[in-house]
Amino acid sequence: MLNPVKGFLLEYALSVPPLVLAFDFNPQQITRNRSVTITLGSTPATRGGFDFFLPTETPRVSQGVSLEPESFDVEILLDATDRMNDGDAIACSLGVEPELATLRSMVEPKTQGPGGVQMLASLGMGGSRAFQRNESASVMLFVWGTHVLPVFLKTVDVTESAHLPSLVPYRATVKLTMQVIEGNNPFYLMEKVRQTAFAALHTGQAAAAAIGGLL
């Protein structure tokens, strides 16, 4: 059996309370999605029916095509069983409730106070739960192995599967959907450098193999 490694979700802000979720992360699969939207109709690309002959013509053909941000779907298991068996007082009384509360706080609106410190908008006793003009979503860092990706949490789907006699959950499966924040930020730029370097490495290896096959 493979040993799990730690994954993290970190709120990239001065926040009250500071939000960090650590979890054992060794999933059987991760779904990564990037899609392209093709706008049909009267665009420079459609004149001539997308016809092209030379590589210099391909920029015209690709007009009207936009790239959607990459998204991740991952499933994690929050389980307090081992900590309960070790006599951890918090786990024995609260199970995984603190972790679930942290996730709920990560997707709730935030307001910014003095000094740039952010706090849950609901602590202001406002009547509305929707995002207002002076409220913002949290920017999260998804730390996975050597990857550090800035993301927005789009959905958090929790399935509680075991409870203490007090009905507090001590085991829950959480499905997370995250959208990568693609732009001029240090985390995404570093990821693009990694991607470019690995693509160049693969291209070099593939080209060498192809040339070797021709000789």
Q: Specify whether 100 is located in the same domain as 203.
A: no
Range of the domain at 208: 184-215
Pick from 156, 126, 125: nearest CA to 138: 156
Q: Cα(67)–Cα(42) distance, rounded to whole angstroms?
A: 19
In a domain, 154, yes or no: yes
Pick from 132, 109, 107, 136: nearest CA to 120: 109
pLDDT per residue over 71-111, tens digit each?
A: 999 999 999 999 999 999 999 999 999 999 999 999 988 88
Q: Specify whether 13 is located in the same domain as 80.
A: yes
% of the chain residues with pLDDT over 70: 87
pLDDT at residue 114, rounded to an integer: 80
pLDDT at residue 1, rounded to an integer: 43
Element (H, E) at 17: none
Domain count within the chain: 2
Q: Specify whether 172 is located in the same domain as 190.
A: no
Q: Specify whether 155 is located in the same domain as 190.
A: no
Q: Specify whether 157 is located in the same domain as 191.
A: no
pLDDT per residue over 15-73, tens digit each?
A: 877 899 998 877 667 889 998 887 766 665 555 556 778 888 788 777 778 888 999 99
Q: Model pTM? A: 0.81
Q: Specify whether 174 is located in the same domain as 194.
A: no
In a domain, 27, yes or no: yes
In a domain, 44, yes or no: no
Q: Specify whether 204 is located in the same domain as 157.
A: no
Q: Cα(43)–Cα(64) distance, rounded to whole angstroms?
A: 7
Q: Specify whether 133 is located in the same domain as 199.
A: no
Q: Cα(138)–Cα(14) distance, rounded to whole angstroms?
A: 11
